[in-house]
């Protein structure tokens, strides 16, 4: 039996979300949409098993297990906010407490909700994507986490709720987004869907879009085995044996929702022909057509938002400063349980009001070295703040010394340039003299000797040198355009 329903409701405005192409496939195995099953799954899952020259695998952390539906919601919230900034793709995405409440779909925010979020972030942070592919004549393997870093701020202690966080995305994702390797999805529609409905929507939109030419929508149908969908799209949910249970207890309600929203015109679950199991057949609806034309026919380049720099200074940069001090202080990278207090973040903001992010690591090195001279071991950012004035005075001395050294080097370069030009000029004038007719050479030499005789007696060893100098002076006086002046010569040297 085929389930079909059309909607004549006016299509909603589309909000684009840019999901990197590889992540589209990774998300299908990374997030299990059965929370009980997710909590018990660890190990590694391969995508495109058996493909020799290109393969991807996802490895779950043995402590935190497989990310579940809530982690999927968190990941999509990060992708959505990153999409709002446009291109170039932003690497660090920050969330305030108010945004965390919206992200998690909670009406209130307390310890239990905060720890659910902390667990979801750890599950994604410590799940690894392992990609291997052939590049030229060799194989390359790339192992990375989607969330390269997770920086968490709590009010004062580890039992306080999270008040803000910054998530740093992996470099391969950022590079791929900037290279325009992404699928454009409609977040407005996804907000109305369950996590399973969102997973279906993301994969089906991609497959429909690859087959649609902008015209005959009724000719498009996409088929996939039900057990393949459970493993590759829905993170390994249980494969049921009976059609009635699949539709009545597992997938039917989510697919019906896609039909009611107009994204699907219909779907059908039928027995597989080749072996036991079922096949799902999907046909796109008018909502897909509208989004396709919005994203791929009338799409303009993503608008760059100018709120990112302000937000980065307000939240992301202070988090990085506080975490960097923790690393400098302890001598090791913060682990998954690490957090920074709001007081530390406030102190980081004070430091950033006087120093740039580039200067912060150097300041910490200076402050900790100065503290070590008095056997003082700062435990907080407040402890190193007292060294700020001394560091700024050191910077000023460095700048003054650097400027003086640069001035000396500039003067030395100019002096050497003059010496080089004089050598060049003598050689060029001599060559000019040698090319003159014999009678003019004789005339110049006679004038040079006459001038030296008029000046009085000259030591014998000086005579020839002075005659040569005078001959060159007279030559350039008679032929002023024959040799480049200093400005012309120095310009040619620079070129």
Q: pLDDT value at position 221? A: 94
Q: Are 27 and 199 in contact (CB under 8 A)?
A: yes
Identify the bridge partners of residue 341 per DSSP, sorted by sequence position: 154
Separation CA 235–CA 100 (nearest Å): 25
How far, in Å, are 37, 67, 239, 267, 269 from residue 251 at the CA level?
Answer: 16, 20, 11, 11, 10
In a domain, 5, yes or no: no
In a domain, 209, yes or no: yes
Do residue 233 and residue 270 come from a single domain?
A: yes
Do residue 321 and residue 244 come from a single domain?
A: no
In a domain, 3, yes or no: no
Helix (H, G, I), strand (E, B) or coil at 224: strand
Do residue 260 and residue 157 come from a single domain?
A: yes
Considering 386, 409, 438, which residue would you say is the last residue of a domain?
386
In a domain, 302, yes or no: no
Which helix (DSSP H) or strand (DSSP E) does residue 172 occupy? helix 171-178
In a domain, 285, yes or no: yes
Q: Are 100 and 74 in contact (CB under 8 A)?
A: no
Q: pLDDT value at position 422? A: 87
The torsion region of residue 309 among left (phi > 0), alpha (psi -120 to 50) and beta comes to alpha
Query: Smallest Cα–Cα separation from 472: which of 495, 494, 441?
Result: 441
Backbone phi, psi, residue 340, to 5°: -120, 145
Do residue 237 and residue 283 come from a single domain?
A: yes
Do residue 351 and residue 242 come from a single domain?
A: no
Do residue 317 and residue 448 come from a single domain?
A: no
Neighbours of 342 (CB within 10 A): 16
> What is the pTM (predicted TM-score) of this model?
0.76
Do residue 184 and residue 311 come from a single domain?
A: no
Q: Are 76 and 53 in contact (CB under 8 A)?
A: no
Do residue 360 and residue 466 come from a single domain?
A: no
Separation CA 324–CA 284 (nearest Å): 49
Considering 320, 354, 386, which residue would you say is the last residue of a domain?
386
3-class SS letters over 375-392: CCCCCCHHHHHCCHHHHH
Do residue 265 and residue 335 come from a single domain?
A: no
Considering 334, 361, 386, which residue would you say is the last residue of a domain?
386
Domain residues for the domain of 435 are 394-494
In a domain, 16, yes or no: yes
Identify the bridge partners of residue 131 per DSSP, sorted by sequence position: 56, 142
Q: pLDDT value at position 66? A: 96
Q: pLDDT value at position 306? A: 40
Do residue 51 and residue 100 come from a single domain?
A: yes
Number of domains in the chain: 3
In a domain, 142, yes or no: yes
Residue 5, judged by CB atoms within 10 A of its CB (0-12, 13-18, 19+), counts as: middle
In a domain, 1, yes or no: no
pLDDT per residue, tens digit, the chain (495 aa), is 444 444 444 345 678 899 998 899 999 999 999 999 999 999 999 887 656 667 889 999 999 999 999 999 999 999 999 988 877 888 999 998 888 888 777 777 888 889 999 999 999 999 999 988 777 777 788 889 999 999 999 999 989 999 999 999 999 899 988 888 888 999 999 999 999 999 999 999 999 999 898 888 989 999 999 999 999 999 999 999 999 999 999 999 999 999 999 999 999 999 998 889 999 999 999 999 999 988 887 654 444 344 455 555 678 899 999 999 999 988 888 887 789 999 999 999 999 999 999 999 999 999 999 999 999 999 999 999 999 999 999 999 988 888 888 889 988 988 898 888 888 888 888 888 888 899 988 998 888 888 877 777 766 667 788 888 888 888 888 888 888 888 888 888 877
Do residue 404 and residue 481 come from a single domain?
A: yes
Do residue 136 and residue 278 come from a single domain?
A: yes
Separation CA 334–CA 339 (nearest Å): 8
Q: pLDDT value at position 397? A: 92
């Amino acid at each position: 039996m085929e389930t079909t329903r059309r909607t004549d409701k006016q299509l909603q405005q589309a909000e684009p979300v840019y999901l990197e192409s590889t992540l589209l496939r990774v998300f299908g195995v990374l997030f299990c949409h059965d929370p009980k099953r997710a909590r018990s799954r660890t190990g590694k899952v391969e995508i495109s098993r058996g493909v020799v020259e290109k393969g991807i695998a996802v490895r779950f952390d043995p402590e935190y297990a497989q990310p579940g539906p809530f982690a999927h919601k968190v990941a999509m919230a990060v992708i959505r906010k990153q999409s709002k900034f446009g291109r170039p793709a932003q690497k660090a995405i920050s969330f305030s407490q108010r945004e965390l409440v919206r992200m998690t779909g909670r009406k209130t925010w307390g310890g239990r909700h905060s720890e659910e979020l902390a667990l979801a972030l750890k599950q994604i942070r410590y799940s690894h994507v392992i990609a291997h592919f052939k590049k030229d004549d060799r194989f390359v393997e790339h192992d990375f986490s989607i969330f390269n870093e997770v920086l968490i701020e709590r009010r004062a202690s580890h039992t306080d709720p999270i008040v803000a966080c910054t998530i740093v995305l992996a470099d391969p994702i950022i590079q791929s987004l900037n290279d325009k390797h992404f699928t454009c999805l409609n977040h407005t529609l996804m907000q109305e869907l369950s996590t399973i409905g969102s997973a279906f929507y993301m994969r089906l939109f991609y497959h429909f879009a690859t087959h649609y030419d902008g015209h005959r929508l009724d000719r498009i149908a996409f088929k996939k085995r039900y057990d393949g969908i459970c493993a590759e799209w829905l993170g390994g949910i249980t494969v049921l044996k009976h059609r009635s249970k699949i539709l009545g207890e597992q997938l039917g309600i989510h697919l019906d929702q896609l039909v009611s929203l107009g994204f699907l015109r219909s779907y059908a679950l039928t027995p597989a022909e080749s072996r036991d199991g079922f096949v799902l057949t999907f046909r796109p609806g008018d909502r897909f057509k509208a989004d396709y034309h919005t994203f791929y026919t009338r799409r303009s380049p993503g608008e760059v938002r100018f709120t990112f720099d302000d937000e980065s200074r307000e939240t992301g940069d202070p988090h990085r400063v506080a975490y960097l001090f923790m690393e400098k202080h302890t001598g090791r990278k913060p682990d998954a349980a690490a957090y920074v207090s709001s007081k530390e973040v406030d102190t980081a903001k004070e430091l950033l009001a006087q120093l740039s992010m580039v200067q912060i690591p150097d300041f910490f090195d200076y402050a900790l070295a100065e503290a070590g001279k008095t056997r003082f071991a700062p435990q907080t950012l407040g402890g190193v703040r007292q060294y700020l004035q001394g560091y700024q005075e050191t910077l000023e001395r460095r700048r003054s010394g650097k400027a003086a050294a640069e001035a000396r080097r500039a003067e030395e370069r100019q002096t050497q340039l003059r010496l080089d030009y004089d050598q060049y000029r003598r050689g060029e004038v001599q060559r000019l003299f040698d090319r003159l007719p014999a009678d003019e050479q004789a005339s110049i030499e006679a004038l040079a000797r006459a001038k030296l005789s008029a000046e009085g007696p000259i030591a014998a060893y000086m005579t020839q040198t002075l005659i040569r100098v005078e001959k060159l002076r007279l030559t350039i006086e008679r032929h002023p355009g024959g040799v480049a002046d200093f400005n012309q010569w120095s310009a040619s040297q620079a070129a």
